């Protein structure tokens, strides 16, 4: 680098830093900082909110609940609205990371289906309101799987050797094996857990891969024949590959939800609550969920939804299917045991 | 030139603030306990270190080292001739060579790795090609195997090997080669006795970069290996995130950093002593 | 002096290039695929390129990533080169310690670096954003620059520098006209690695980013849950095209009128 280049580099540097600083404090409008999964909102709905309330919405993304927790816990903040899943809401409440919601600002909470009010992970909805939800069941390709599938036991069928895909999540998979044995998916009984893990070890040779994010592609492309899949993802798969069917096994499955919650150090708490209220408006929510293709817990929104959306059996699960589900509960320090067994399973040791 | 010892100061200050201080926090955490919620609590103990000696974790670390050494060796074998070719091309070709090798890696890592999934899966291009040519009668299961992981690792770290070797080759004293040639040395002999020793520093740097980067990589095992094998960094990751055991995660990191430093020092020593021997013979 | 390479070397290099570029060609091809899924080919389209420019999230993320990568590369290249040069002047003991310290950022697992820096920034009350990401990237990048420049220096004797000084050159002149040209390939290669690492880093950036500083890798990792949009493929295609064109132009402009002596250019 010669003298001229040095100067040039210095100039560029100064310029870029200036841009960085300026963009950091650009508008004087109040800002709502959302931290959520990618593509979790309809863009137009967000714009509508910005216009109606004359505010700016910042939308940043995380990739999984654990990343979110580690970041919030280590003080990575500045966010006003986050979307943790059910068990993560419970954990965050226990760790005192969430601010209680002021329901006076959220009258539209009345629109939420009774089935999702007062959940076990947040009794009385003090800290969270459900955003969307689904159930872990079995997705299978009817081209290759000819038998009737109605039990977790079917994953163990030797005919599907090398074609089984499991979620890459210790609680989901060990919970599934526990359910298969007739226990709670959140058992803290060491004997029950050990037996379930031994059972899973016998399934290992059949497993093609562990995957959470790309299970959809693997099923659409028929790399796998049968898999543990979330209902919402099953709907996504079936749209691209109509041969894929979905069932909630007779032993029951794990139900999950993503929620609205407000971190304790939020500087725009009231605005965040107004946002939740806005999203729970029947018309707004119909538009939003129609666009993102997830289940809508808003009972008043049903009339605004399209025929196609209402008829999707994988988005709107039946009462019967929902009655067989169980939330993942907190297992306390037994989480260490789950983690250890999981490491054993995945490393094949 | 005497002053330039002082130019270490900015770097030293920078590293102290942004590296040493945070690292001390990590070392501190590794000696602490945790409560049921996963919060780190002040309670001095060595439990986290004891846990490492569990055969489960020792085995995983061993697997990690084996895979990393394999990746490094393959990278070296593939990259050296490439770097040699570039370094011996005309100046314009050298620029293009370097750019052409680096630019693909400006594409996001995930995107690149998923492209390999498209190539290797059972309905993928490679299988269709082999089927079409009649070389195989049934699609091969190439994905979600150890081989796929190795391929992904080698692919990811090629530039880390090519660039340092290129840097060393480019400055080599070519007169030595000419002299050897004039004295009737075969190509192979002059490569073995002149080129290779002169580029040791490049091989060293490249190998260390690839080795260390491989041990720290976990996404490749998840995507191309179907998450069916664990690397030490998968474990560190999951201790900090899913398992919420920060002391164990920190202890693993401390062990990991120390063993890596030792391995690098040993490698360094082995390479230098060989280099010196060759030098003595030459003089 | 140019030595002629063995033909086998040429073939090997060609095969390596194919190996490096086959996945890239796929990415380019799929940026024109009309299906949202990276699955079967279902027709040619430009739609992803059009919607890419309407997608404010991608555009913001790209701008953030480039800002971070450029700034952190420049600073870490200067710091790393300084460190490599200063290292030669240090005493033996200090050298060993410093060498170990400079290797640390390369060895430390990303997640540790990210989380521990996050804790530190919190203690220092620094608001999280682009500045904190830049600081983090400089911290790991400068080590890579240092390592590569050192490689270069180790193969270089001090004779030329001494000769220059004996002939009355000031230390700046010696540095500028003797040392710098000799280590330039090392600096450039180091900068290339630094830029590549910065552009690709997810884990460290994730933890030290704040509102409004999402980088491209953070955005892409976030998208994985729902399937990465082909817009990203389109973006990658454009990135490669722009880079190669820029370098080609720079080369062309610099080489005009320079006669025999061909100049070699790289970014930075």
CATH of residue B82: 1.10.3720.10
Range ranked top by mean pLDDT from A27-41, A108-122, B79-93: A108-122
Inside any domain, residue B83: yes
The confidence band for B99, taking pLDDT boundaries of 50, 70 and 90, is: confident
> Cβ–Cβ contacts within 10 Å for residue A59, how many?
22
Q: How do residues C36-53 score in pLDDT, each as one tens digit?
A: 766 677 889 999 999 998
The confidence band for C260, taking pLDDT boundaries of 50, 70 and 90, is: very low
Q: What is the dihedral of CA C163, C168, C173, C178, to 10 degrees?
A: -10
A222 contacts in chain B (CB < 8 Å): 123
| Per-residue pLDDT at B6 exceeds 80 | no
The CA distance from B179 to the nearest CA of chain A, in Å, is 34
The rounded distance, in Å, linking the Cα atoms of B264 and B278 is 21
Range ranked top by mean pLDDT from A282-286, B9-13, B89-93, B189-193: A282-286
Q: How do residues A49-74 score in pLDDT, each as one tens digit?
A: 999 999 999 999 888 898 899 889 88
Class at the top of the CATH hierarchy for domain A134-255+321-347? alpha beta
Q: How much is the average pLDDT of A222-241?
A: 92
pLDDT of residue B280: 47
Range ranked top by mean pLDDT from A277-281, B274-278, C226-230: A277-281
According to DSSP, residue A100 is labeled: P
The rounded distance, in Å, linking the Cα atoms of A88 and A84 is 6
Residue with more model confidence, A88 or A39:
A88
The CA distance from C48 to the nearest CA of chain B, in Å, is 16
Task: Provide the CATH topology of domain A28-133+257-316.
Answer: D-Maltodextrin-Binding Protein; domain 2 (3.40.190)
CA distances from A258 to A58, A128, B129, B183 (A): 19, 10, 43, 76
Task: Give the structural domain span for B148.
Answer: 50-107+143-282
Per the CB < 8 Å rule, is C148 touching B119?
Answer: no
According to DSSP, residue A298 is labeled: B
Strand partners for A258: A85, A132
Residues 92-111 in A contacting B (C-alpha not used; CB under 8 Å): 94-95
pLDDT of residue A16: 52
Q: How much is the average pLDDT of C149-172?
A: 85
The confidence band for C205, taking pLDDT boundaries of 50, 70 and 90, is: very high
Instruction: Please give the structure tokens belonging to residue C201.
Output: 């880093």
Residue matched to tokens 């280099």: B275
pLDDT of residue A15: 55
Residue matched to tokens 């830093």: A17
Looking at the complex, does the CB of residue C206 fall below 8 Å from at least one CB of chain A?
A: yes
Q: How much is the average pLDDT of C229-252?
A: 84
Inside any domain, residue B116: no
pLDDT of residue C90: 84
pLDDT of residue A1: 38
Reduced to 3 states (helix: H, G, I; strand: E, B; else coil), residue C170 is coil
- Phi and psi at A60, nearest 5°, equal -105, 160
B123 contacts in chain A (CB < 8 Å): 221-223
The confidence band for B1, taking pLDDT boundaries of 50, 70 and 90, is: very low
Cβ-Cβ pairs closer than 8 A, B with C, add up to: 274
CB-CB contact of A58 with A82 (8 Å): no
Inside any domain, residue B112: no
The CA distance from A60 to the nearest CA of chain C, in Å, is 6
Looking at the complex, does the CB of residue B144 fall below 8 Å from at least one CB of chain A?
A: yes
Looking at the complex, does the CB of residue A12 fall below 8 Å from at least one CB of chain C?
A: yes
The confidence band for C171, taking pLDDT boundaries of 50, 70 and 90, is: confident
Buried/exposed B215-241: b ≥16 CB within 10 Å, e otherwise: bbbbbbbbbbbbbbbbbbbbbbbbbbb
CA-based nearest residue to A256, from A47, A65, A33:
A65
- Does 3.90.1150.10 match the CATH number of domain C55-230? no
pLDDT of residue C168: 87
Inside any domain, residue B1: no
Instruction: Please give the structure tokens belonging to residue A296.
Output: 């809508």
According to DSSP, residue C167 is labeled: T
The CA distance from A195 to the nearest CA of chain C, in Å, is 31
Residues 97-136 in B contacting A (C-alpha not used; CB under 8 Å): 114, 117, 121-123
Q: How do residues B196-232 score in pLDDT, each as one tens digit?
A: 988 998 999 999 999 999 998 888 998 999 998 889 9
The CA distance from B56 to the nearest CA of chain A, in Å, is 7
Residues of chain A with CATH 3.40.190.10: 28-133+257-316, 134-255+321-347
What does DSSP say about strands A226-230 and A164-166: parallel, antiparallel, or unpaired?
parallel
Strand partners for A209: A165
Instruction: Please give the structure tokens belonging to residue C169.
Output: 């050159």
Looking at the complex, does the CB of residue C120 fall below 8 Å from at least one CB of chain A?
A: no
> Cβ–Cβ contacts within 10 Å for residue C6, how many?
15
The CA distance from B202 to the nearest CA of chain C, in Å, is 6
Cβ-Cβ pairs closer than 8 A, A with B, add up to: 79
Q: How do residues A178-212 score in pLDDT, each as one tens digit?
A: 999 999 999 999 999 999 999 999 999 999 999 98
Residues 116-135 in C contacting B (C-alpha not used; CB under 8 Å): 116-117, 119-120, 135
Looking at the complex, does the CB of residue C70 fall below 8 Å from at least one CB of chain A?
A: yes
A67 contacts in chain C (CB < 8 Å): 206
Please, what is the average pLDDT of chain B?
Answer: 88
Domain count for chain B, please give it.
Answer: 1
Q: Mutate which of B29, B76, B111 to disrupt the C interface (most C C-beta within 10 Å)?
A: B111
B37 contacts in chain A (CB < 8 Å): 91, 94-95
pLDDT of residue B37: 79
Q: How much is the average pLDDT of A119-148?
A: 95
CA distances from B26 to A341, B40, C10 (A): 26, 11, 48
- Phi and psi at A162, nearest 5°, equal 80, 0
Residue with more model confidence, C165 or A97:
A97
Per the CB < 8 Å rule, is B227 touching A168?
Answer: yes
According to DSSP, residue B123 is labeled: T
Inside any domain, residue B114: no
Looking at the complex, does the CB of residue C39 fall below 8 Å from at least one CB of chain A?
A: yes
Inside any domain, residue B6: no
The rounded distance, in Å, linking the Cα atoms of A346 and B3 is 55
Residue matched to tokens 């004039």: B182
CA-based nearest residue to A249, from A329, A117, A114, A156:
A156
Q: What chains are in contact with C, requiring at least 3 Cβ pairs below 8 Å? A: A, B
Helices (H) and strands (E) in chain A, counts: 13, 11
Q: How much is the average pLDDT of B274-278?
A: 53
| Per-residue pLDDT at B180 exceeds 90 | no
């Amino acid at each position: 680098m010669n003298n001229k280049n040095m100067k040039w580099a210095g100039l560029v540097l100064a310029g870029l830093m200036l841009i960085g600083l300026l963009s950091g404090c650009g508008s004087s409008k109040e800002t709502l900082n959302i931290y959520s999964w990618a593509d979790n909102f309809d863009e137009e709905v967000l714009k509508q909110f910005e216009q109606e309330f004359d505010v700016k919405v910042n939308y940043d993304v995380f990739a999984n609940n654990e990343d979110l927790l580690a970041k919030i816990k280590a003080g990575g903040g500045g966010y006003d609205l986050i979307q943790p899943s059910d068990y993560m809401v419970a954990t965050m409440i226990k760790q005192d990371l969430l601010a209680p919601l002021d329901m006076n600002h959220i009258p539209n909470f009345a629109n939420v289906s009774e089935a999702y009010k007062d959940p076990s992970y947040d009794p009385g909805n003090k800290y969270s309101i459900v955003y969307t939800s689904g159930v872990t069941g079995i997705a299978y390709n009817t081209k290759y799987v000819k038998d009737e599938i109605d039990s977790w036991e079917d994953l163990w069928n030797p005919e599907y050797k090398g074609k089984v895909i499991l979620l890459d999540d210790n609680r989901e998979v060990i919970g599934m094996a526990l359910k298969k044995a007739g226990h709670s998916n959140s058992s803290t009984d060491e004997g029950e857990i050990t037996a379930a893990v031994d059972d899973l070890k016998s399934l290992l040779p059949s497993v093609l891969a562990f995957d959470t994010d790309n299970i959809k592609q693997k099923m659409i492309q028929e790399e796998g024949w049968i898999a543990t899949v979330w209902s919402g993802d099953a709907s996504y798969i079936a749209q691209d590959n109509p041969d894929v069917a979905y069932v909630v096994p007779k032993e029951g499955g794990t139900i999950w939800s993503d929620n609205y919650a407000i971190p304790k150090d939020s500087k725009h708490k009231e605005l965040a609550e107004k946002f939740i209220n806005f999203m729970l408006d029947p018309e707004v929510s119909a538009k939003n969920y129609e666009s993102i293709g997830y289940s809508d817990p808003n009972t008043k929104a049903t009339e605004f939804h399209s025929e196609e959306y209402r008829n999707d059996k994988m988005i709107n699960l039946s009462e019967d299917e929902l009655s067989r589900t169980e939330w993942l509960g907190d297992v306390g320090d037994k989480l260490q045991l789950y983690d250890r067994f999981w490491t054993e399973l995945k490393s094949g040791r | 030139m005497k002053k330039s010892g002082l130019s270490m100061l900015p770097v030293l200050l920078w590293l102290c603030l942004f590296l040493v201080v945070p690292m001390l926090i990590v070392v501190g955490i590794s000696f602490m306990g945790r409560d049921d919620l996963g919060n780190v609590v002040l309670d001095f103990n060595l439990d986290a270190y004891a846990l490492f000696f569990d055969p489960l974790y020792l085995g995983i670390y061993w697997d990690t080292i084996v895979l990393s050494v394999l990746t490094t060796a393959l990278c070296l074998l593939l990259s050296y001739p490439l770097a040699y070719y570039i370094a011996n091309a005309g100046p314009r070709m050298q620029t293009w060579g370097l750019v052409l090798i680096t630019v693909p890696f400006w594409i996001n890592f995930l995107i690149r790795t998923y492209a390999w999934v498209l190539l290797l899966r059972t309905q993928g291009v490679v299988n269709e090609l082999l089927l079409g040519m009649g070389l195989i009668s049934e699609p091969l299961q190439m994905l979600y195997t150890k081989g796929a992981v190795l391929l992904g690792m080698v692919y990811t770290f090629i530039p880390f090997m090519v660039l340092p070797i290129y840097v060393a080759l480019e400055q080599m004293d070519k007169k030595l080669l000419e002299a050897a040639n004039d004295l009737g040395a075969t190509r192979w002999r002059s490569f073995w006795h002149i080129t290779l020793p002169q580029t040791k520093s490049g091989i060293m740097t490249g190998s260390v970069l690839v080795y260390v980067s491989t041990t720290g990589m976990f996404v490749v095992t998840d995507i191309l290996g179907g998450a069916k094998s664990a690397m030490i960094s998968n474990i560190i990751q999951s201790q900090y995130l899913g398992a919420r055991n920060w002391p164990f995660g920190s202890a693993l990191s401390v062990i990991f950093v120390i063993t890596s430093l030792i391995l690098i020092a040993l490698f360094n020593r082995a390479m230098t002593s060989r280099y010196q021997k060759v030098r003595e013979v030459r003089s | 002096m140019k030595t002629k390479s063995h033909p086998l070397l040429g073939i090997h290099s060609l095969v390596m290039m194919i190996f490096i570029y086959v996945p890239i060609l796929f990415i380019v091809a799929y940026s024109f695929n009309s299906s949202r899924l990276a699955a079967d080919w279902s027709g040619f389209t430009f739609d992803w390129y059009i919607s890419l420019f309407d997608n404010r999230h991608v555009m913001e993320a790209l701008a953030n990533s480039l800002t971070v990568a450029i700034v952190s590369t420049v600073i870490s290249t200067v710091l790393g080169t300084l460190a490599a040069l200063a290292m030669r002047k240090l005493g033996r003991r200090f050298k060993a310690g410093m060498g170990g310290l400079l290797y640390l950022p390369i060895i430390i697992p990303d997640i540790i670096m990210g989380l521990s820096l996050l804790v530190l920034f919190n203690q220092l009350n620094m608001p999280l954003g682009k500045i904190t990401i830049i600081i983090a990237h400089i911290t790991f990048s400068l080590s890579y620059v240092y390592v590569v420049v050192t490689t270069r220096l180790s193969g270089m004797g001090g004779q030329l520098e001494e000769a220059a000084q004996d002939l009355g050159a000031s230390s700046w002149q010696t540095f500028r006209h003797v040392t710098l040209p000799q280590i330039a390939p090392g600096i450039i290669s180091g900068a290339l690695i630094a830029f590549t690492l910065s552009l690709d880093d997810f884990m460290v950036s994730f933890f030290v980013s704040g509102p409004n500083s999402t980088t491209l890798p953070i955005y892409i990792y976030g998208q994985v849950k729902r399937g990465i949009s082909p817009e990203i493929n389109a973006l990658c295609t454009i990135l490669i095209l722009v880079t190669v064109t820029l370098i080609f132009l720079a080369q062309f402009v610099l080489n005009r009128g320079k006669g025999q002596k061909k100049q070699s250019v790289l970014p930075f």
